[in-house]
Structure 1
Amino acid sequence: MHHFIYSFIIVFIFTLCSTAVAQGEVVFASGSPLSTYQSRVIYPLLKEAFKRNGVEFDAKSYPSPRSLLMSNSGALDGELHRVYNFHEVSGGQYPNLVRIECDLLSIYLAVFSKNADVKIVNWEQLVGSKVGFVSGKKYAESFLGKTLKPENIIRQSSEPNLFKMLAKGYIEYAISGGLEGKRLVLKHPDFHGIKEVGKLKETKIYAYMHKKHAALAEKVAITLIEMKKDGAFKKIVNEARHSYCEIEDCKKMNCTYDCLNSDLVDKGNLSTDPIHPNHFAQSNHSESSSHSDQ
């Protein structure tokens, strides 16, 4: 009975979303909160690209496994951000998703630990240690599954929970996005003993669509490439980075300069000219008196 009800709900949502597409609207799933760095950058890029094709764009956040279930089933129209070789690292579990053939971002997976003396340069160095990551991160899951024993792979539901496990000593290492992890450490006093101790393989990030939208996916890819050429891509990404790095909690922790000069931006697509640390001097100074206890 429960299976029937669940199936009915999926079919119902699928019907609604199909109707929405016919009216010129698509809704993507994000496997992480829309406030995260990847989502903040990619959402406005796709919104503009779909707008240029006469289609309204929106995205909703779900836990990563549920996000993939809904986009692969067609209940939602696509995935906001997944790695280039997503089908390989996920074992082909989501065959209905087709890649929008334009890279949107470059990221690296970072290793965090309370032992600042260790330096991690490859996955093999993690053998024998308990290592945590956020469930649904197929890229990390694939590499950890090839390297560690199952009992040493610890899955968590969110980045904060992952870092709590690390802070309390339940795991020896946490795998996270470099910038996201650094900001968590800066924001939470309990995490201040945690350091980034290594950068693992860099990867390109792409959006994916349900195969029923394959033709539209091709058009959007062409549009994104055009946006790179006409400067819109760079402008949107720079604005998104400033928005992400200038949010209240980041400015309180004085991490704006580190954030804006992080090496997560795709160097082939965007300017990597350093931003002067005085860029936000006025706004940081105006808040320093009222938040001196931070």
Structure 2
Amino acid sequence: MRLAVALLFCLVFQSTPLHAEELQLSVIAQHSVNDRIWPALEAAAKRINITVVARPMSADRGVVEASMGQLDGAAGRSSGVEQKFPDLLRVPEPVYHYAPSAYSYMRPDVSRGWASLRSYSLCIRRGLQLTTARTRDMARQQLADEVSMLRMLKEGGCEVAIMDRNEPAAKAVMATDPGLAQLKPALEEMPLYIYLHKRHAALVPKLAAALKQLRADGTLNKLSGEGD
């Protein structure tokens, strides 16, 4: 009888599929950079037999909930988050290289980077730590999304809008409005990372290795278009 039960248990166990671990990660709501980050992150996760689910929310709330353990981590964040939130561990391999760029109907020289913008009025995306920090003490308006920024720029409410070099909303406008230009070079290039709650510490080196492999074989660039 015991043998029969043991055999039955083995059969049930063998027929039950092994489910990949699922991570709930915050992403910044309505931010187009997520469209570039997420396919690469999904591909890396698949390589280490985990799945990832995006939870869109405000930038600040996403990090706080991840730090508190209400989520498993946060995606697409700049380095330094761990200094304020020590319970979050940074996956050391970047998932995307964010390149904030100036868009304008004027043609200012941006060769000196952020310092080039000091005499202009700016539109920036609310909640993005990088642009908020870089434009501190500059004349700026913080708007909810890139579409609002482009509208404000068109109406003359600001002279320069700061968005990613691959921002699709800006590219769509430039396709029909030749007056709008993306000014080059980019103001800077900053790697964006995945952060995991410390309870997932064992996954950090595995996910880093997967991202590194994807970058080496060209898959990451193909999925994210970070070099476009």
Superposition TM-score, scaled by structure 2 size: 0.78
Q: Which residue of 1 aligns with 2:110?
A: 120
3-state DSSP of counterpart to 1:75: coil
2:150 counterpart of 1:159: no
CA contact (8 A) 1:186 1:192 kept: yes
Higher CA-based Rg: 2
Describe the shift of the 1:56–1:166 C-alpha distance in structure 2 as closer, same or farther (beyond 3 A).
same
Amino acid in the other structure paired with 1:47: E
CA contact (8 A) 2:65 2:71 kept: yes
Q: Which residue of 2 aligns with 1:238?
A: 222
Amino acid in the other structure paired with 2:35: R
Alignment counterpart, residue 102 of structure 2, candidates 111, 128, 152: 111
- C-alpha distance in 2 between matches for 1:203 and 1:124: 17
Amino acid in the other structure paired with 2:196: M
- C-alpha distance in 2 between matches for 1:183 and 1:86: 30
Q: Which residue of 2 aligns with 1:141?
A: 132
Deviation at 1:32, TM superposition (A): 4.2
Cα RMSD, aligned residues only = 2.7
Q: Which residue of 1 aligns with 2:179?
A: 193
Q: Which residue of 1 aligns with 2:164?
A: 177
Decide which moves more: 178-187 or 55-64.
Answer: 178-187
2:204 counterpart of 1:217: yes
Q: Unaligned stretches of 5+ in structure 1?
A: 1-21, 242-263, 266-271, 273-294
Describe the shift of the 1:170–1:49 C-alpha distance in structure 2 as closer, same or farther (beyond 3 A).
same
Q: Which residue of 1 aligns with 2:27?
A: 30
Q: Which residue of 2 aligns with 1:41?
A: 36
Q: Which residue of 2 aligns with 1:67?
A: 62
Amino acid in the other structure paired with 2:173: V
CA contact (8 A) 1:41 1:237 kept: no
3-state DSSP of counterpart to 1:225: helix
3-state DSSP of counterpart to 1:204: strand
- C-alpha distance in 2 between matches for 1:178 and 1:49: 24
3-state DSSP of counterpart to 1:209: strand
Deviations 1:53-80 (A, max 9, x none): 3322121222323322322322221222
Superposition TM-score, scaled by structure 1 size: 0.62
- C-alpha distance in 2 between matches for 1:123 and 1:78: 30
Describe the shift of the 1:73–1:42 C-alpha distance in structure 2 as closer, same or farther (beyond 3 A).
same
Deviation at 1:107, TM superposition (A): 2.9
Identity among equivalent positions (%) equals 22
CA contact (8 A) 1:31 1:68 kept: no
- C-alpha distance in 1 between matches for 2:195 and 2:213: 18
Higher relative contact order (CA 8 A, sep 6+): 2
CA contact (8 A) 2:211 2:220 kept: no
Deviations 1:79-110 (A, max 9, x none): 22122x3439xxx4433322111122223110
Describe the shift of the 1:82–1:115 C-alpha distance in structure 2 as closer, same or farther (beyond 3 A).
same
Deviation at 1:172, TM superposition (A): 1.4
Q: Unaligned stretches of 5+ in structure 2?
A: 1-18
Describe the shift of the 1:29–1:166 C-alpha distance in structure 2 as closer, same or farther (beyond 3 A).
same
More helix per residue: 1
Describe the shift of the 1:172–1:29 C-alpha distance in structure 2 as closer, same or farther (beyond 3 A).
same
Describe the shift of the 1:129–1:70 C-alpha distance in structure 2 as closer, same or farther (beyond 3 A).
same
- C-alpha distance in 2 between matches for 1:111 and 1:210: 34
